Structures are given as C-alpha cells and as structure tokens.
Amino acid sequence: MSEKELILSLNHITKDFAGTRALDDVTLDLYAGEVHCLVGENGAGKSTLIKILSGAEIPDQGEIVVYGQSYRQLSTGQAIDLKIATIYQDVDLVDTLTVADNIFLGDELRNRYGLVDTPRQEELASGIMGRLNIQINPQALVEDLSPAQKQTLQLIKALHRDAKILIMDEPTSSLGRDETLALLDLVRSLAARGIGIIYISHYLKEVSQIGDRISVLKDGRKISSYDKSSFTITRLVRDMVGRDAGLFYQKETVPIGEPLLRAENYSRGAVVRNVSFEIRRGEIFGIGGMVGSGRTELANLLFGADKRESGELYLEGRRITPRSPKEAVRSGICMITEDRKRNGLFGVRPVKENVAIVRNESGGLFINLGREAKQVQEKVDQLNIQLATIEQDVDSLSGGNQQKAILSRWLMVGAKVFIFDEPTKGVDIGSKEEIYRLMTELSRQGKGIIMISSDMPELLSMSDRIGIMRDGELVNIVPAGEASEERLIKEYLGIQVA
C-alpha cells in the first residue's frame, strides 16, 4: 500500500471505561482506495475505536492524524468536516421520509421562497445513484425499502457529503447472500474511486474476499495485521480467540427424551402454511431455509407475537396455543429474537432490569430489589457476561453480551422450550462457543430447543434434526447426521436430492 496516499493514522489510542480498558495502545492506519478490515470478538474494542473516529468518544491517550493533520480528539462536527462517515450496523435513517429527503437531511436544498426544493433533491439523488448503478426510487419511503436498500442508502448519504473515509460496521449482518454480494461489489467500486474504507465484520469469508488488509483486535489490543496475500481464515481465528476453528462446532451428545412440544397445522396466509412438527426433551430442532421461506414468521406464530389463522400448540400433552408472548412465557415458551435491539432489549435501561423484566420475585405488589439483584448477578456470572456492573445500560454491551443478557432473562423464569432465531447473528466466535455450550446444557436439562439459523455449519453441528422451510411450508425434516451443506441448499431451493 506504500504507493498510495496515507489518509488516516490512529497512533497509540487508549480508552478506559469505568476501570475497564476498552482500547490499549492501538495503532492503525488507512490508505486512499484501501479496504482495511477489522475483526475481533465482541468486546475486543472495535466499536470503541470507530466511535473515537466518528467523534462520539474521546480517547484518554493517543493521536489521530487525518490527511497529515494531528488531533488529540475529534468532535462529531470535525469528523464530518474531515469527510469521515460512519455507517453503523443499525440503520440510521428516518423511515417516514423519502429516499431523497434522507439523503439531504440536515442539508436541504431550498428554492427562492425558502422552501425545500423537493424536485431538485430528487433529481440530484437520482444522479448520485445512477453513477453507482443503484436502482432505488428517490420518492420511495424508507420504511418500504429492503434491508439491503437501506444499507445502500446509508452509503449514498455518505457519498452525497463527499466522504473520503468510510467506516462500515457489520453492513451485511441483516442481508441475504445475493444482497451481500451486491453490497460487496459496491464497496469495491467505492474503493476504486479512491475512498478509504474501514470495514468491520464477523464474517471471515467475507472479510477475506474484500479486504486489502486485515487487522485483528483482542481484549482492546491490536494482535496482528495482514496483507491480502499473507493471511488465512485459520490464522485469523487463532489470533481472535487462540483456538482452532475446528473446535467451535463440536456439540456433545445429549440423550433425547420423550415428546415435549407439538405444533399442529400452523398457518398464516401464504407466509406459513400448515406447519406441523414435534420436538422431544433434550432435542435441538434446527430450522433452515432461504430468506423469505417463513422461518421467522413461524417462530412469531409459535410465540404468539403474530396472530395465526389456524394451528394448535401442545406442551407436555396439554394444549397451550399462546395468543400473545405473555401467554407463551406463562406456559414455559420463550424466544430469543433475531433483532435483539428492536425486539429483545430495553436499550437505555440497566442490565439488571433487562434480565429481571419478566420476573417479579416477591410474587406480590412489590419487588424484592436485593434478591433480584443477587439472582441477576448469579446469571451474569453463569453466562460470563462481560460488564462493569449490572447497573450498566444494556446498550453499552457488545453484541454477544447483549445476546447472553437476553438468555439470562429466560433462565430466570425456568422456561421449558427455547426458540432461538439466529442465535449467533452478529456474535463473535468466542461468544458463539459460549452460546453453543449453553444450548447444550439446556438440552442436557431436558429443555426443548427450536433453532432457526442461516448458518449451515451451525445447523449441521448443533441440530439433532433439521426442518426445511420453503415457500412457507415445512417440506422435510432431515436427521442432522444424514445432512450436508450440499443437501441443505438443494432442499432449500427445491432441487431433487439424489
């Protein structure tokens, strides 16, 4: 990269939070036209580093050099003026405004009467997208866009502000395979235009495809940095967690008991059609399928979050058929949702409240706060949730620790059936292993687990049986020992399996 222009350097950055060192003497740089990927477990310091770059956090020590100019710290205004744009994993758009309005938000064009010049904004928005071969209607409401279009729109906003340094935090975590490939192509085209890109992702195959350089963070320190030609996924994994990747998917054998949960003829329009299955005590029943096959919609029906048109649910032979999540929880069914921030957490509230929210320990009008805090702390210790105190806001935790906080909540109420919708989405390798261990322990206790996953190795290694969803129907149930990635993809697509 030496022949390219050095546009950004982070020199010896250190940052502490409440006695915990989030970044420890980190040095990192970026060249124009380079995609510099950043990987590491949740809690490794990646989020803190990009917040320092965007002006959202102030480093305790170190220097930020942008285009040769040295700064002790950056404000958000300075970051914008320096053409630094950050695209976070959680889409930062206004759903009720149009595409064009979002692009020009805060920088609206005005006509001679001082009113927003909507036609001009739409014309310029079309021009920006046209130059990138992006087909999005500038008049469309953001709430009507797909997840991939929303991520693309965030990129367009940054380009409208003439960003020269792009920071992308898990941009493909909510995208399907084809959408991911399209976004990666767009990232490559932006780098070819001379934009420097810091790209953060847990998907190591994706990183290996797109990165010119890859740096690994662990426990707040930079462990290693590789050029494209000198790294392997195995090496990255070992740097991140100190273990071989082959160890992550070794599920212990757990005895399978008697029938526990039975679903009969669950339906809702065309999205879920006459789905029936049974799971047994100690069993992990995986559900796979393409995006849009009805997997999450089925989970929402089982949990009572969406209204079914037909179907009955039986637990231990007793009909429970929940009409709401509250009824499901009372019956012993719990769900860990795919979108934990939107549907699983109260972001501005403490970890303690998030874990204990479904349980009133006193059983009366008042909550025994001391007992509650003790039991929450026990669950935090059991699941090894990394935090300073249970009074800490849950949205300050890393993604993997947030996921474990939700699991702690359901362990507090002694649920019998756990529905995991993408349990390790956006979670680092080390936290994945902890979640897998917990799922295995739940199985050993005789719990039943429904696991929806887009990760084929995860399905194959963690499931006892795998249900195949296609076009809203459960078309087959395959013993995991008889399955392979090739067979699963054929089942997903409806190709005859030899």
Residue 132 sits in a domain whose CATH number is 3.40.50.300
The answer on 265 and 324 residing in a single domain is yes
Asked if residue 252 is part of any domain, the answer here is no
Asked if residue 204 is part of any domain, the answer here is yes
Q: What is the DSSP letter of 142?
A: G
Helix %, strand %, coil % for the chain, to 5?
A: 35, 25, 40
The answer on 37 and 170 residing in a single domain is yes
- Residues 278-308 have pLDDT tens digits of 999 999 999 998 777 899 999 999 999 999 9
Range with the largest mean pLDDT of 227-231, 263-267, 327-331, 477-481: 263-267
Please tell me the pTM assigned to this model.
Answer: 0.58
The answer on 285 and 190 residing in a single domain is no
The answer on 184 and 49 residing in a single domain is yes
Q: Which of 168-172, 292-296, 428-432 is least confident? A: 428-432
Residue 444: domain span: 259-493
Using the 3D structure, point to which of 243, 274, 297 is the last residue of a domain: 243
Asked if residue 254 is part of any domain, the answer here is no
- Residues 303-324 have pLDDT tens digits of 999 999 999 999 999 999 999 9
The answer on 191 and 328 residing in a single domain is no
Range with the largest mean pLDDT of 84-93, 168-177, 466-475, 478-487: 466-475
- With 0-12 CB in 10 A as exposed, 13-18 as middle and 19+ as buried, what is 127? exposed
**Cα torsion at 180, 181, 186, 189 (round to 10°)?**
150
pLDDT of residue 243: 52
pLDDT of residue 232: 81
Range with the largest mean pLDDT of 170-184, 349-363, 430-444: 430-444
- Residues 108-147 have pLDDT tens digits of 889 888 898 999 999 988 988 887 778 889 999 988 888 7
Q: What is the DSSP letter of 141?
A: B
The answer on 285 and 177 residing in a single domain is no
Give the strand pairing for 35-39 and 213-218: parallel
Asked if residue 21 is part of any domain, the answer here is yes
Asked if residue 81 is part of any domain, the answer here is yes
* Cβ atoms < 10 Å from Cβ of 386: 16
pLDDT of residue 146: 80
The answer on 281 and 212 residing in a single domain is no
Both structure tokens of 167: 């920071």
Using the 3D structure, point to which of 194, 219, 243 is the last residue of a domain: 243
Rounded to whole angstroms, the Cα distance separating 398 from 121 reads: 38
Rounded to whole angstroms, the Cα distance separating 412 from 355 reads: 8
The answer on 294 and 223 residing in a single domain is no
Rounded to whole angstroms, the Cα distance separating 384 from 404 reads: 8
The answer on 139 and 164 residing in a single domain is yes
Asked if residue 248 is part of any domain, the answer here is no
Asked if residue 249 is part of any domain, the answer here is no
Using the 3D structure, point to which of 192, 219, 243 is the last residue of a domain: 243
Alpha helices in 294-450 (DSSP H): 295-302, 325-331, 340-343, 351-356, 369-382, 399-412, 429-444
Asked if residue 251 is part of any domain, the answer here is no
The answer on 214 and 114 residing in a single domain is yes
The answer on 228 and 316 residing in a single domain is no
Q: Which of 103-107, 237-241, 415-419 is least confident? A: 237-241
Rounded to whole angstroms, the Cα distance separating 276 from 393 reads: 40
pLDDT of residue 177: 72
Residue 247 pLDDT exceeds 70: no
- Residues 367-410 have pLDDT tens digits of 677 777 777 787 777 777 777 788 777 777 776 777 777 777 77
The answer on 288 and 139 residing in a single domain is no
Rounded to whole angstroms, the Cα distance separating 60 from 73 reads: 9
The count of structural domains within the chain is 2
